[in-house]
Amino acid sequence: MYINNIKLMNYRNYQSLELDFNKKINLIIGSNGQGKTNIVESITLMSIGKSFRTNKDKDLIMFNKDSLYTNCNFSRNGINKSIEVVVTKEKKGIKINGVSVKSLHELLGILNVVVFSPEDLKLVKDGPKERRSFIDKEISQVMPRYYSLLMDYNKTMNQRNILLKSNYIDKNLLDVYDLSLSKYGSEIYVFRNRFIEKLSAISNNLHRNLTLNKENLTIKYKNQLDIDDYSDADLIKELLYQKYKETIDSDLYNRNTKIGPHKDDISIHINDIDVRMFGSQGQQRTASISLKLSEIELIKQEVGDYPVLILDDVFSELDQDRQKMLVEKLGDVQMFVTSADPLHINILKELEYSVFHIENGKVISSENGGL
User: In the sheet that 353-359 helps form, which strands lie side by side, from edge to edge?
Assistant: 113-116, 308-312, 335-339, 25-29, 353-359, 362-369
Q: Is-same-fold flag (1-112+306-371; 119-304)?
A: no
User: Is 35 annotated to bind ligand?
Assistant: yes
Cα dihedral 21→26→29→32 (10° resolution): 90
Task: Identify the pLDDT of residue 353.
Answer: 86
User: Is 224 annotated to bind ligand?
Assistant: no
Give the pTM. Answer: 0.88
The C-alpha angle 346, 352, 358, rounded to 5 degrees, equals 65
Cα dihedral 206→211→216→220 (10° resolution): -50
Give me the residue spans of the domains in the chain: 1-112+306-371, 119-304
Query: From CA 297, how far away is CA 168, in angstroms rounded?
Result: 51
Query: From CA 145, how far away is CA 139, in angstroms rounded?
Result: 9
**What are the respective helix, strand and coil percentages of the chain, to the nearest 5?**
45, 25, 30
Q: Residue 262: which of 150, 355, 350, 127 has the closest Cα? A: 150
Flag residues of the chain having pLDDT under 70.
370-371
Fold of 119-304: Glutathione S-transferase Yfyf (Class Pi); Chain A, domain 2 (1.20.1050)
User: Is 33 annotated to bind ligand?
Assistant: yes
Evaluate whether 346 touches 324 at the Cβ level (below 8 Å): no
Tens digit of each residue's pLDDT (9 = 90 or more) over 330-344: 778 999 999 888 877
Task: Identify the pLDDT of residue 371.
Answer: 57
User: Is 34 annotated to bind ligand?
Assistant: yes
Query: From CA 39, how far away is CA 361, in angstroms rounded?
Result: 9
Query: From CA 286, how far away is CA 22, in angstroms rounded?
Result: 28
Evaluate whether 15 touches 328 at the Cβ level (below 8 Å): no
User: Is 30 annotated to bind ligand?
Assistant: yes
Alpha helices in the chain (DSSP H): 36-48, 128-142, 144-165, 171-210, 233-246, 248-254, 275-278, 281-303, 320-329
Q: What top-level class would CATH report for the domain 1-112+306-371? A: alpha beta
Q: Residue 304: which of 174, 175, 169, 112 has the closest Cα? A: 112
249 contact partners, CB below 8 Å, separation of at least 6? none
Evaluate whether 189 touches 261 at the Cβ level (below 8 Å): yes
